[in-house]
A and B are shown apart, each in its own frame.
Chain A
Amino acid sequence: MATHSYTSRRELEEHSFSPLVAVLVPLAAIVLQALLPRPFPRLAILDLSLIVTIFFAVSRRSPAAGALTGAAIGLLQDALTNQPIGVNGMANAVIGYIAASIGIQVDVDSLTTRVLMNFGFFLIDGFLLYLINFRLLGLAGFHLYWAHELIRAAINTVLAVPIFFLLDNAKRRE
């Protein structure tokens, strides 16, 4: 008698998404992010691409998939900027990897975990971007403003919580 058994928490809560959702949601995030700052310049502080990266990474619970998803979304994000392609790609790949690794260990469906996780990942993202721009690309005028990074992390965390609940409906349960 063949029985289906789960051997780990990863197998228990691993989610997948339809290809349409996996393509359209990151694309919609990038398009919205490019459109919103034009009428509302202050909304340039939002990073919808990173929110989507974190969500897919923690939902799939596969570090390799998380890194690949982050890299793909980051590269698309870079293609719209004047920065060298790969800056956001590298940062998002690392974030995706870490997020998926955390998703294996802790319950990422609770509100508190999501808030802390998003806040922390946005701070890490700011630090990674500083490292890439200042150290790797050698931009001497690039500074890390911690106050700004904290505000950015807080605002994006507030936005990430409802987006996570919205995207929960797109999970394909098997």
Chain B
Amino acid sequence: MESFFTRFKNVLVLVAILLAQTIGLAIQVRRPVESGAPDGEKVLLLRYWMVSMVTPFERLVHGAGWTVRHGWSNYIDLRHTRQENQDLQAQIARLRVEQAAFAEDAMQGRRLQSLLAFKENYVDKTVAAQVIGSSGSELSRVIYIDKGSLDGLKTDQAVITPDGIVGKLRDVFPHTSQVLLISDQTSGAGVLLATTRVRAILRGSTTGRILINNLTPDQRIKPGEQVLTSGGDQVYPRGLPVGTIESVAPDPDHQPYTLIRLRPAVNLDQLAEVLVITGTQTELPPLAQKDLAQGAATAEAKAAAAKELADQQAAEAAANSAAQIVAERLPSLPEAERADGKAAAAPSVDSVTPSTAVPKPELTIHPDRYSPGATLPAAELKPGAAEPNRAGVVPVPSTDAAPPGQTVAPPKPRRPKPAPATASPSNPPPQ
């Protein structure tokens, strides 16, 4: 018997080790399997010993790194800080306007929720924590933070960043906590597709990708759709960003379901600081209420300004309309006269423009000897010759040309004619 143990000592040791660990695994694994469930007391004790042994080193390294980074970023690398500040101020102004746009909808939504006795959970209290380490294994996607039960943390509390959800607390130790990331294969969360309002269950995978694989094919679900928490898991408050759908394909392992891959809203590989949600409430937190009131006030001011502008435009439109009505009712010139007026006005425009043409006198209506063209050119005139009779020219008896012995009757006085309506300067009245 002694020789048997001596001969197979190594194999027996191996079998004993494997057997003991198999029994240990059997004790730890519960049926049905609870995804991301915290450990039992004995297992937790073993983890606590190990975490207590490792985390001081992690804190030391993290503290040294943080001091260097903090010193560099806060005292040395301050380039473009002023520009960033201006950009952030502009962003705040823009967000206030956007907030005003959503404030009324939010208030209306809250009124409707209160009417339906619908209880919403709002994030009330959070604890900021820094990530100090990881599990060091590809198959286990957990991180360690520097806050624990002494800071008010408890298991199953949600861990988030301003960008979206990170995971939940799995094991909490006095000064440290283990966070199970949503990308871990044992992780899960209730989610809601933002556009289609389809509810689903989010799962992690061994490759670290986050997936939805409990939905049947739906034409409405397309890549790019945002995914939010649904609040149904009692861990994550409703409406927090989870990620964006990256691809939709048939699931080869679970037909006829689809395999929806998501791009997480948070970069889970580069986490530095996180927020642990330690308290939720059904009423909006005071700060959020203040923000909402400010948004509502901004919205009211915008609405008043818009109304004033609309009133002003309406008054201007009414004034224009009255002037048009008055103009239509007043007597006006006939169309023909308007056309003549336009024709008469046309030359006046031409007269303004300089012209090189010599102006010609208008034709005389009643020509006389003073009319242009009535007198012969000087080359044709002969001294002493009688004045040629011209058609249309009234002959004037000349006393110089009468024959001797004949008496010349005196000319009858001409009856004056009434002056024409339009007097012509070229035809002056006789004097």
Q: Is the CB of B28 within 8 A of A85?
A: yes
Give A31's nearest chain B residue, CB to CB: B57
| A147 and B93 alpha carbons, distance in the complex (Å) | 51
| A139 and B185 alpha carbons, distance in the complex (Å) | 9
Contact flag A79-B14 (CB < 8 Å), given A34-B133, A41-B269, A86-B25: no
Q: Is the CB of A44 within 8 A of B134?
A: yes
Chain B residues lying within 8 Å of A71, measured Cβ to Cβ, are: 17, 21
Q: Is the CB of B17 within 8 A of A31?
A: no
Q: Is the CB of B133 within 8 A of A82?
A: no
B28 to A: closest C-beta gap in Å: 4
Contact flag A143-B206 (CB < 8 Å), given A34-B54, A71-B17, A90-B21: yes
Q: Is the CB of A63 within 8 A of B10?
A: yes
B399 to A: closest C-beta gap in Å: 135
**B134 touches which one: A34, A133, A138, A142 (CB < 8 A)?**
A34
Q: Is the CB of A44 within 8 A of B138?
A: yes
Q: Chain B interface: which size bin?
A: 35 or more
Q: Is the CB of B136 within 8 A of A44?
A: yes
| A85 and B270 alpha carbons, distance in the complex (Å) | 27
The proximity string for B residues 1-21 relative to A, scoring 1 for CB distances below 8 Å and 0 otherwise, is 000000001110110011001
Q: Is B53 an interface residue (CB 8 A)?
A: yes
Q: Is the CB of B136 within 8 A of A30?
A: yes
Q: Is the CB of B135 within 8 A of A68?
A: no
A131 to B: closest C-beta gap in Å: 12
| A35 and B132 alpha carbons, distance in the complex (Å) | 8
Q: In terms of DSSP, what is the predominant structure of the interface of chain B?
A: mixed
Q: Is A45 an interface residue (CB 8 A)?
A: yes
| A45 and B134 alpha carbons, distance in the complex (Å) | 13
Q: Is B58 an interface residue (CB 8 A)?
A: yes
Q: Is the CB of A136 within 8 A of B22?
A: yes
Give B179's nearest chain A residue, CB to CB: A82
Most chain-A CB neighbours within 10 Å: which of B47, B49, B184? B47
Q: Is the CB of B46 within 8 A of A94?
A: no
| A77 and B296 alpha carbons, distance in the complex (Å) | 54
Q: Is A99 an interface residue (CB 8 A)?
A: no
Q: Is A83 an interface residue (CB 8 A)?
A: yes
Contact flag A137-B25 (CB < 8 Å), given A44-B136, A82-B36: yes
Give A97's nearest chain B residue, CB to CB: B14
| A145 and B36 alpha carbons, distance in the complex (Å) | 24
Q: Is B221 an interface residue (CB 8 A)?
A: no
- Residues 45-59 (chain A) with a chain B CB within 8 angstroms: 45, 49
B26 to A: closest C-beta gap in Å: 9
Q: Is the CB of A129 within 8 A of B139?
A: yes
| A62 and B29 alpha carbons, distance in the complex (Å) | 32
B33 to A: closest C-beta gap in Å: 8
Most chain-B CB neighbours within 10 Å: which of A38, A77, A97? A38
Q: Is B178 an interface residue (CB 8 A)?
A: yes
A34-B134, A81-B142, A137-B25 are known contacts; what are 18 more A-B pairs with Cβ within 8 Å? Answer: A27-B53, A31-B57, A34-B135, A35-B134, A39-B65, A41-B269, A63-B10, A64-B9, A68-B13, A71-B17, A81-B137, A82-B186, A90-B25, A93-B17, A139-B185, A141-B205, A142-B206, A145-B207
Closest 3 CB pairs of A and B: A79-B50, A81-B140, A33-B136
